[in-house]
Amino acid sequence: MAGMTDFRRVADDVRNWGRWGEHDEIGTLNFITAEKVAEAASLVTRGEVFALGVDFGSSGPQGAFHYRQNPMHVMTVDGGDATTLLEYGPTWLQNPTAVQLSGYSEAGPMRFNDDLIIMPLQAATQWDALSHVYYDDTLYNGFPASSVTSLGARHCGIDKVDVKGITSRGVLLDLVRLRGEAVYCADVDAPIMPAELDAAAAAQGVSVTPGDIVLIRTGWWARFLETGDGAEPGAGLDWTCASWLHDHRVAAVAADNLMVENPVSGVDGTILPMHMLCLRDMGMMFGEYWDLTALAADCAADGTYAFQLVAPPLRVTGGVGSPLNPIAIK
């Protein structure tokens, strides 16, 4: 097994610090040029839309983790409020909310419902911002890890990437299909290797080109929908895939599992080595919990594995991640 010396050698190889200037906070999204955005749009021929976001609800995969929760959704105004306030009047509650809502209801037939969601930004379909992961006290491009505080990320926050959209050419690499798995790539002792990424692309007749956003299908989300077990391990990318992504000048990578990379570290001495190499050294965002099932079925049916991908995060000020509902359009 590789050790920290190997890890640090690869980190030195793939590090993009300074590549786009000392103030850069968006990393490999810089590979997405205007020409690339136009190329991606030209891939739309049928007008078929695939929503890649999962449900943001209480039955998500976070039950397995103590530091994250599934989204909690509550109603803050509903029809019962209007009915009750009209019946009893605003004064029984003696508060400005009751007076205001009562006034709205008395003004005519218009009624409304409001709601609130409380959730970790890492709970469901998400982008990890570059400030999500660091080591040696340093974020991407050398920004100090101490610049992320309870006030949020001063550097490399998710709000910084809004300049890119994010939209580009998406390429699906279907490892479930390549490996001939029935549902998902279960074996964490068989992480997905760089040669398999090449083999998947070759089998699918697609090339990965600079500025692409690569979507890795491991089948994990399909398995989760069968079992409801968010802690069930499944194979992800081997840490050496960081160099593959670097060499292909990929703009971002997303997968249908909880962490993109293999849950069993291939580096003795650290967990999540690929997170460290991609987010912190390369400046490459990770997308997690993307539902690729329907898109993969369509790609297999029409033999077209490249499409326009539209995947903007929310502009959460200083956020280290964002939920989203990415859209693939063919």
Decide if residue 256 touches ligand UVW (CB under 6 A). no
DSSP letters along 102-125, please? HHHHHTSS----EEEEE--TTSSS
Greatest distance between any 2 Cα atoms in the chain: 73
DSSP assigned state of 203: H
Closest-approach residue to ligand UVW (CB): 259
CB of 201 or CB of 260, closer to ligand UVW: 260
Q: Which of 281, 288, 291, 298 binds ligand UVW (CB under 6 A)?
A: 288
Q: Is the peptide bond before 166 cis (omega within 30 degrees of 0)?
A: yes
Interface characters, 6-35, with ligand UVW (x: CB under 6 A): ------------------------------
For the chain, report the end-to-end CA distance as a whole number of angstroms.
Answer: 41
| Closest distance to ligand UVW from the beta carbon of 279 (Å) | 8
| Closest distance to ligand UVW from the beta carbon of 304 (Å) | 29
| Closest distance to ligand UVW from the beta carbon of 47 (Å) | 33
Cα 131 to Cα 147: distance, rounded to the nearest angstrom: 9
Structure tokens given for 60? 């998500």
Decide if residue 128 touches ligand UVW (CB under 6 A). yes
CB of 24 or CB of 288, closer to ligand UVW: 288
Cα 268 to Cα 265: distance, rounded to the nearest angstrom: 7
* 84 Rama class: left (phi>0) / alpha (psi -120 to 50) / beta: alpha
CB of 68 or CB of 154, closer to ligand UVW: 68
Total of chain residues touching ligand UVW, rule CB under 6 A = 6
Decide if residue 281 touches ligand UVW (CB under 6 A). no
Residues that bind ligand UVW (CB under 6 A): 122, 128, 258-259, 286, 288
